[in-house]
Structure 1
């Protein structure tokens, strides 16, 4: 039992801490091929471009090879491999976290909006399509080895007899 209770209402002070983006793993470097572990493109191999200010990493398929567009991905959702690709011909310096921000619309909470049919998804803007092409042209043009092209096109899967702890990427 507590013998003493304070008579004052003491409010706890909440301290907001600044966001510290995650450090880039030591094994990951620009141009390295990574395997995505989660999401719509799970198991696909992608090329690492750079780390964004938020701590997420910027990757691309290239879209022509495996359908993975420019994406932000947490590092924990990837496995680095030993394969590297030359990305010196592509310009992705303009891409930052604001590039991926969605436009906010004011939602009307009326009875009509509740029963209205669902809105269609907005197609990608022409500017984003042009950015995707310009980044991918620089990467695809530098990949001369047909085995690397085939490697990027195939998905990673565990098959019978494959134990994850014994694999070397």
Structure 2
């Protein structure tokens, strides 16, 4: 025989109490960066195409950070990176205060609708082997890269061995313990 009465253990308070628990709404804002990630800090990229490369952090966007190689030194262009895939190196910082970085927003790095449509286009076997896909960069992107790289390279050249440090990639050898390393 089933008990149809509601037992007291299911009632957290009496219905005559008048107390109502209100849920607090969380406000979404710009995520805070780690304290070690500041503009001008040298970082190591941990994942993706440029994993192991050392880069210079330029600024924070809404949820990502903007970094550059500089391209002439280690081949890393202006790029958005998720801050969780980056380790900040302590000690050496590069002066990026003279750069105008207001142009580099989320829209600057997003793909245009034409390239998205091109990616969705069905590829037949004949098209796949006939076309050599070489990505053509905008001349404006190349000029933007040069405009950002010049002042950074000037400040890098003032510090001895920093150019060589940025051009070398980070890797772990057998027996290296990354949790004991100081970056």
TM-score bracket relative to the smaller structure: 0.7 to 0.9
Aligned residues: 152
RMSD between superposed Cα atoms in Å: 2.5
Distance 2:56 2:73 in 1: 11
Structure 1: 5+ residue stretches without partners: 5-16
Deviation, structure 1 residue 24:
1.1
| Aligned residues of 1:31 and 1:87 also touching (Cα < 8 A) | yes
Distance 1:50 1:88 in 2: 10
Report the counterpart of residue 126 of structure 1 in structure 2. 139
- Which structure has the larger Rg over C-alpha atoms? 2
TM-score normalised according to structure 1 size: 0.80
Question: CA distance change for structure 1 residues 109 and 133 in 2, over 3 Å: closer, same or farther?
Answer: closer
Match of residue 70, structure 2, among 49, 62, 74: 62
Distance 1:140 1:134 in 2: 11
Report the counterpart of residue 100 of structure 1 in structure 2. 109
Question: CA distance change for structure 1 residues 109 and 25 in 2, over 3 Å: closer, same or farther?
Answer: closer
TM-score normalised according to structure 2 size: 0.74
Deviation, structure 1 residue 148:
1.0
Report the counterpart of residue 7 of structure 1 in structure 2. none
* 1:151 correspondence with 2:165: yes
Report the counterpart of residue 9 of structure 1 in structure 2. none
